[in-house]
Chain A
């Protein structure tokens, strides 16, 4: 039996009373576990096993088993401000979905776990400039996973980028107009500068970093394509975010 901190990334109903819970843990990476009886009204810890919850969980690990057994969970942070706002909930879902795709089972994931936690905590206290937060999260996730695109100069000719560039996943970064041959997602040099800044800036600065909508759209489109190239999967939460009408999107 192991007691571990974790964030609930996703849950699936298994039987009438049980759930499969996908967790990100700092030292065991992504863990899939069965939580028995948690769908019952009288379950003592069912509420802790909702997606986007920071918990302390007790898990019975057995090597070689695909599904572990979760016997107890206590909420450390349920991020109520994320749950009470559809845009924030959509963004938090996107963050958790990306973590589920990038995290591996049975490996130290302390850097990913720390990134997930700070991204959720920042989102919980942010009321505007969500695009800056999301771009920063994308870039740091790629960085921690060793997939950060080269955005400082052309990945092929190594020259600085002027005007516009093309972010090309198979090349591993930005290509200048001369090297790209038209492949990749077009981004302006100014957008690359914004990306460089958002990769390293302090998390507390993000809600004060406003990016013009066309630049934010351009960067997010390029990064989405870049990530899908690596994961091979469309992001379901991104589809949800697009389906929201003009509610309170910043």
Chain B
């Protein structure tokens, strides 16, 4: 990009800051923008500006929202006594897409990671504990990822809620639907057997 002046280099640099975008993809996206009509490019710019201006965090569940509280938290038809705890907003959206869950959510915006120095104070755990204070919640479903950090977060939640009289459950772990037992690894199979249920 040498010698091509400020604007395009700046655009490539901005794209490179996005997750999963390397130098080549950044360049491809930048040239795509350049080739758009002025209206199309402005529409994209406006969409980004609007999203940044309108979207904020729900003061109850910490999910991203345009209204506060968010639509889910404000919906009286949902079960307000159950909270599903996830790491990212995209995971709540995924569970919602499944169409089976009717309770509320809590978004932690991360997970405890000892190796990266991320402790309980660095994620939205304080907000979760505040929601449990009025005793209206009867169950917390911990749906953090089934990896070291997600498990550490789940363990921490179990410890700090031990005395609050709330039922804490963990999402099941095991063989994915549509896969084959033959290709499951030892650890997943062990979890699947541990978490077996009566039929």
Contacts and interface: CB of A to CB of B under 8 A. Distances in A.
A247 interface: yes
Given A16-B20, A78-B187, A50 B147 contact: yes
Nearest to A9: B115
A172 interface: no
A93 B187 contact: no
Contact of A240 (B20, B114, B155): B114
Contacts, number: 71
A99 to B, nearest CB: 11
Query: Range of interface residues on chain B?
Result: 20 to 34
Contacts of A61: none
Contacts of B117: 236-237, 239-240
Contacts of A237: 114-115, 117
A236 B151 contact: no
Given A15-B20, A237-B117, A243-B120, A83 B151 contact: yes
Interface string B148-170: 10011001100110000000000
Given A15-B20, A16-B20, A86-B156, A236 B187 contact: no
Could you say which interface size class chain A belongs to? 35 or more
Interface in A202-250: 236-237, 239-241, 243-245, 247
Secondary structure class of chain B's binding surface, majority of residues? helix
12 contacts: A10-B115, A42-B179, A43-B185, A48-B187, A51-B115, A52-B148, A83-B151, A85-B155, A86-B152, A236-B114, A239-B119, A243-B121
Interface of A: 10, 15-16, 41-48, 50-52, 74-75, 78, 83-86, 89-90, 93-94, 96-97, 236-237, 239-241, 243-245, 247
